[in-house]
Amino acid sequence: MLRASRLCASVCLLGAGLAHAEPVSRLLDISNAGANRVAQLKKSAGVDWWLELGEGLLVTGDRQVLDRLPEAVLSAWPELDPDSLVLEARGCGVDPRLHLPALADAGRFALLRLPPMLARYPGKRAGEWQPVVPNTSYASVWNNDPAKALTGAVADPLLQQVVDAVDPVRWQQQFTTLTTFDRNTFGPGRILARDWLVQQFQGIANISSVTTPSFTFNYASQQRSAENVLAIMPGTTTPDEWVIVGGHYDSRNTVNTSTVNTPGAEDNATGCAGVLEMARVLSQFAPQRSVLFMCYSGEEQGLFGSAAHAQSLLASGDATRVAFMLNMDMIGYSGDADLDVLIESTALGQPAFARFGALASIYAPSLRIVTSLSPCCSDHIPYLNVGIPAVLTIANDWNSYIYYHTANDVPANVTNSLAMGGNLLKMNAAFLAETARASGRSFANGFE
């Protein structure tokens, strides 16, 4: 869902008796343009530079040329200076009241035009702002991705069995139960949630061990400690090759240290319950690779739980065993019938984008996929930082969820959850079945 400001366009200047169009900037609607058309727009004569921002393409160039383009104009400006534009991370615990108005969204970032004073003296906010690089794709609709043409839409009977094993109602019941615990990292309710998760994993077939590895971290000038929950499903033929499925179980409201009124339904009971659901599904299909199911704590304070695990893998030499890490965060909410999913990573995880797109088209065709190579703010980041391919899957309407980080993040407000979360989990189950080599064989189209 594209959210953009509508501002007035510039006017033509006349000189030397001839009409001369000064450069202007336009945000064009490319939500259904297709890969070929997007490529043409980027190379159009008269376009000086562009930014691909998911459903919008920001182009700057000759006004007469841009005004003749048939694409709908979502917003228009006098010429934008790329040096005045920044990407601001959203969803990283920054008070939304401090956000500057966005020109457009780009995955988990917002495109901003800084006032001259802020551009020169960004102060404390500088760490949240990244300069833009002209002619860069920051987010892309899957239908506009050239890789889409390389994928086929042929169902695999065994993969279909895995997908059919996903139970959205069971998942919804599980994330609803998690909201009955106040799961702030610093409160006793998180301990109750931790123990409940342990019990749930212990009841799943083929889980060999469930542990709660602890970690320490500094927060607000104090040393703190917390625990992750780790459940291991050993691989049948290549147990020393690992796949990680993760999502954080801690929660918060408007005060990051509050230990009451923190139901955290969308953020992130949905993702943590998704980890449980993937464990239940894969337990039926004998993955050849070992699967580590992780529910993290300390995410809301700075990704501390996932960072501790990623660093432990690096220190032990086990990071090389990990074939892939799949993160689920805020997977249940959709504000409308458009079930759009954001999949983000760096170049490390980018090869998986095509597989997610192809699998969604076969096994969860209601989904609309948006991809981003500007990752932010969730538990895939520490794994990417140590060289492990990892992606985040997140409902793309996360930024319009008005109960985000509030005491009203309750199950009733996670609208369209069965459709949104159910289809997202089907896509993820198919991907994990391929990646973990489930069903006792290696899938021909599996991601490596």
For residue 81, the 8-state DSSP code is P
Size (the chain), residues: 448
Render pLDDT for 214-239 as a digit per residue (tens, 0 to 9): 999 999 999 999 999 999 999 999 99
* CA neighbor of 308 nearest in space, from 228, 245, 251: 228
Say how far apart CA 168 and CA 352 lie, in whole Å: 24
Is the pLDDT at 391 greater than 80, yes or no?
yes
Beta-carbon neighbour count of residue 36 at 10 Å? 11
Lowest mean pLDDT among 53-57, 118-122, 320-324, 345-349: 118-122
pLDDT digits (tens, 9 = 90+) for 417-428: 999 999 999 999
Rounded percentage of the chain residues whose pLDDT exceeds 90: 79
Q: Is the pTM of this model over 0.95?
A: no
Q: Are 422 and 274 in contact (CB under 8 A)?
A: no
Per-domain boundaries in the chain: 13-140, 151-435
Pair 146, 409: CB distance under 8 Å:
no
Identify the helix (H) or strand (E) that includes residue 326. Answer: strand 322-328
Report how far residue 191's alpha carbon sits from residue 183's, in angstroms, rounded to the nearest whole number.
8
Q: How far apart are CA 176 and CA 420, in angstroms?
A: 15
Host H or E run for residue 175: helix 168-178
CATH architecture of 151-435: 3-Layer(aba) Sandwich (3.40)
* Stretch 196-205: mean pLDDT: 98
Q: Is the pLDDT of residue 11 over 90?
A: no
pLDDT tens digits for range 148-181: 766 667 889 999 999 999 999 999 999 999 999 9
Mean pLDDT value across the chain:
90
Q: How many CB atoms lie within 10 A of CB 187?
A: 19
